[in-house]
Amino acid sequence: MSHYAALLLAIPLLAAFAMPLFGLIGRRVRNTWAIIAMLATVAAALILVWEVLTQGTIVYAFGAVDQALTIPFDSGGVPIRILFVIDAMSAFMILTAAIMMSAATLYSISSESEQTGQDGYYALLFLLMAGIFGMVSTGDLFNFFVFLEINSLAGAALAAYRIKGGVAVEGGLKYAFISTVAGLFFLIAVGMLYGQYNSLNIAYIASVIDFTGLSLVAVVLMIVSLAMKSGSVPMHFWTPDTYSSAPSSITSLLIVSSMASLYAIFRIAFSLFGLTMNVVTVGWVIIILGILSMFIGVSMALPQKDVKRLMAYHSVSQIGYMLVGLGVGLAVLGDSQMMSQFGVVAMEGGIFHIINYALYKGLLFLIAGAVIYRCGTANLNDLGGLGHSMKWTMGFFIIAALAIAGIPPFNGFASKLMIYESVFIFNPFIAVIAMVVSIMTLASFVKVFHSIFMGPKLPQYEAVKEVPMPMLIGMGLLAVLIILFGLFPDLVVKTLVEPAALALIDRSGYIASVMGGI
């Protein structure tokens, strides 16, 4: 039995806790430690993902002699320990988080090299990652709440880390407020479920659930709070403020943490409640949230002047695609004919879009960070002519911008096509809106490209050079993956995405992985 599930959590925590002590020795030692710990975490994550894909769901019981023993003999058939349940969907999220973590850490090594307080920066970065890994792999509701809070506290502190005359603190404050309120609502919902079913384990609750009025309140509270945390429309006002004021490498990780909240919405909707609730209504609520997010996000993005603010509004719009794809899957969950006709494809599109979105959006924010690193401003009206001096950055920007606009052969096209095709059968109107949003996205990024990179070389940016090597490696890693995912979408869908979608649909399989060992 492997320990990689626990190591996935233990290594980032160990790295974070030791970071201030290594920082006392010297900066070179600390940077080396950060890179070693990052590599170790990514290695554990990759091995874990490989194990899940080859051997099926992995269950890890904390504090037990035999970590595969989910239900102790003297517990009366109830799982009492904290369990990690890592199925194909969790593995998919772990892979996404690990890729983004490696890129962001490498990027930080040079983008933060002239800043103060780096010990705390790296410690919080590893805590943030531990929170994300915990959120996507835990099988326990209260444990999820704890990781949610670790993630949001570390994220808020990092978002406000470079004070920037108080502006960044504003962004961090908004993030901290919204995530704490979301966390408390989630906790109250967990309490409601515990009061009815006397357990915190998702699989156990799913096996005994009897959908009462109180469960309805709980599911509404959970979906509302997690939608708040993931930045979809009614509660999207924090995303532009926080994403634009945080350091760029952190923004690319905050995106992953919003993806983890999104994952939790679907884990709760599919695995915890499943068909016991009215999936058509909940599915439609999620679809409508998705459509509103798509449209409002992109239309707010068009007039923005600050490049990071513009990208932040686009991230609201892109979250809409995932909500629509998975919401369609949820709405037809009860109908096996419609499910096989287009529901599975819609879910695969939504899930595939999660990793694609994380890759190109992370790359876009890293590029914005590179531009700010060299030029010191993010205002589109002041920038221009950087294509002459920052050739690599410009190349990466072209790749990411075409990917977000859904132009073949980049990865955004692959997942968006799956969403268009399947949603068109479900309701043509939604697919048309999604395509219009995609065109508006392209228009917006053409504007950004033109004002940052095109035009004659400006006199005030005469001395601007290409960014240092570690930043280029971080960005290049993401760019290469975007191209690979765009060139071989079938392979990725077959190996990673399809098992994830099937794992979400297969509620009884999730329950059996925990409760089967009686």
Q: What's the Cα-to-Cα distance from 20 to each of 32, 157, 360, 508, rounded to whole Å?
A: 13, 16, 32, 45
Residue whose CB is less far from another protein, 60 or 461: 60
User: What is the spatial distance between Cα 251 and Cα 239, in angstroms, rounded to a whole number?
Assistant: 10
Least distance in angstroms from the C-beta of 404 to another protein: 24
User: What is the spatial distance between Cα 377 and Cα 388, in angstroms, rounded to a whole number?
Assistant: 18
H or E element, residue 195: helix 167-197
Least distance in angstroms from the C-beta of 218 to another protein: 12
Least distance in angstroms from the C-beta of 162 to another protein: 12
Residue whose CB is less far from another protein, 3 or 457: 3
Least distance in angstroms from the C-beta of 161 to another protein: 11
Residue whose CB is less far from another protein, 13 or 344: 13
Closest by CA position to 500, among listed 96, 8, 98 = 96
Least distance in angstroms from the C-beta of 60 to another protein: 7
Residue 152 CA to its chain's centroid (Å): 13
Residue whose CB is less far from another protein, 19 or 330: 19
- Structure tokens given for 500: 């994830």
Contact 424, 372 (CB under 8 A): no
Residue whose CB is less far from another protein, 40 or 487: 40
Least distance in angstroms from the C-beta of 199 to another protein: 9
Least distance in angstroms from the C-beta of 3 to another protein: 6
Measured over the CA atoms of residue 172, residue 178, residue 184 and residue 189, the dihedral's sign is negative
Residue 376 burial class via C-beta count within 10 angstroms: exposed 0-12, middle 13-18, buried 19 and up:
exposed
User: What is the spatial distance between Cα 355 and Cα 352, in angstroms, rounded to a whole number?
Assistant: 6
The binding site for another protein (CB under 8 A) comprises 3, 6, 9-10, 13-14, 17-21, 24, 60-67, 142, 146, 149, 153, 156-157, 160, 163, 165-167, 169-173, 176-177, 180-181, 183-184, 187-188, 190-191, 194-195, 200, 241, 244-245
Least distance in angstroms from the C-beta of 299 to another protein: 18
Residue whose CB is less far from another protein, 2 or 427: 2
Residue whose CB is less far from another protein, 63 or 456: 63
User: What is the spatial distance between Cα 213 and Cα 273, in angstroms, rounded to a whole number?
Assistant: 13
The residues, any chain, with a CB within 8 Å of residue 382's CB and separated by 6 or more, are none
- Structure tokens given for 68: 């595969």
SS3 (DSSP) at 83: strand
Least distance in angstroms from the C-beta of 19 to another protein: 8
Residue whose CB is less far from another protein, 190 or 419: 190
Residue 222 CA to its chain's centroid (Å): 18
Least distance in angstroms from the C-beta of 13 to another protein: 5
User: What is the spatial distance between Cα 300 and Cα 297, in angstroms, rounded to a whole number?
Assistant: 5
Residue whose CB is less far from another protein, 89 or 221: 221
The residues, any chain, with a CB within 8 Å of residue 10's CB and separated by 6 or more, are none
Q: How many residues does the chain have?
A: 518
Residue whose CB is less far from another protein, 18 or 302: 18
Residue 195, number of CB atoms within 10 A of its CB = 10
